[in-house]
Amino acid sequence: MFRNFLSVKDVTNMELLVQQAMSYKAQQLKRPTLGAGKKIGLLFFNPSMRTRLSTQIAASNLGMESIVYNIDKEGWKMEFEDGAIMNGDAVEHIKDAAPVLGQYFDILGIRTFPGLTDREADYQETLLHHFKKHTGIPVVSLESATVHPLQSLADILTIEEQLKLRSTGKKPKVVLTWAPHIKPLPQCVANSFSEWVNAWGKSDFVITHPPGFELDTAFTNGAQITTNQEEALADADFVYVKNWSSFENYGQMATGDTSDWMLTLDKLKATHDAKVMHCLPVRRNVELSDEVLDSPYSLVSQQAGNRVWAAQAVLSNMLENIL
């Protein structure tokens, strides 16, 4: 049981959490009344398909009502600065809005991407922590400035499922590879995947990226890191593909032609018939080629499907904690 779910640090027993997610996958209506009479508010400061729908389905499977609030489009512009003189375009302060949400809901889910201009503010998770402080109710991250824990739990679940099917008796090699993109993206998914795989501890974990795209070591410590993608992919069992912008040169994307970092079927030949993962949405033929995404090596749909069971396991732990 845990009160909040903001990162892997909230999870005391990952093995149990993954087992719970698997048991919901086997029997989705296992606990249909656990959330009866309870409401989750899902606040989106940014777009979503998978996170929004999988969390709503998970809540529904537990008998819990979910209400989506696209606060970026439908809400009042919010002020976050303590002591702000609110004579600008912000209409209400988080100190006033968040407690109201705490009155309406039993759990609050929040999606808030980083601005990618102020590294310190992003990495302090200012907005998420303001909500946590002022709502007075448990908070679940729907992807924040630095991590995406619901995605990462689904990723570990997906890998565990595959390992049951192809047990070789040796530790799997899991590779996180940087991929090209047309615009600067957050480091969240890569950070989160890294810290979850490190905490999981059942793989040889390798991260590969071009020079200048090192992630924060707070997330990657324990992984082997190389700028040689070919070397990283050798004998890989799982290849997780993701773009991220620079942490060091904060928020900057790669300059020059990086198209040779795209994962292709040809590159997979060096692997151990590796399964390919991506959190989606994916830019076809930029990050990953059509031939990989449309091949039996791709796990991306299964991974997205597993978002439901990950969310259901997390919500049931949070509900048990407040019942």
Binding residues for ligand CP (CB under 6 A)? 48-51, 143, 151, 279-280
Nearer to ligand CP, 143 or 237 (CB): 143
The helix-helix angle for 126-135 and 94-104 (nearest 10°) equals 60
* Sign of the Cα pseudo-torsion (3, 94, 64, 188, in order): negative
In whole angstroms, the minimum distance from the beta carbon of 47 to ligand CP comes to: 7
Could you tell me the smallest distance in angstroms from the CB atom of residue 250 to ligand CP?
22
- For ligand CP, the closer CB: 73 or 269: 73
Task: Quote the least distance from Cβ 142 to ligand CP, whole Å.
Answer: 7
Judge whether 281 and 243 are in contact, CB under 8 Å: no
Q: How far is the CB of 148 from ligand CP (least distance, A)?
A: 6
CB of 111 to ligand CP, least distance (A): 8
- Residue 241 phi, psi dihedral angles, 5° rounding: -105, 130
Minimum CB distance to ligand CP smaller for 153 or for 254: 153
Residue type, 109: G
| Rounded-to-integer distance, Cα 320 and Cα 260, Å | 48
Q: Which residue is nearest to ligand CP (CB)?
A: 51
Residue 126 or 151: which CB sits closer to ligand CP? 151
Nearer to ligand CP, 51 or 56 (CB): 51
Through-space distance between the first and last CA atoms of the chain, rounded to whole angstroms: 11
b or e along 210-243 (b: 16 or more beta carbons within 10 Å of the residue's beta carbon)? beebebbeebbeebebeeebeebbeebbbbbbbb
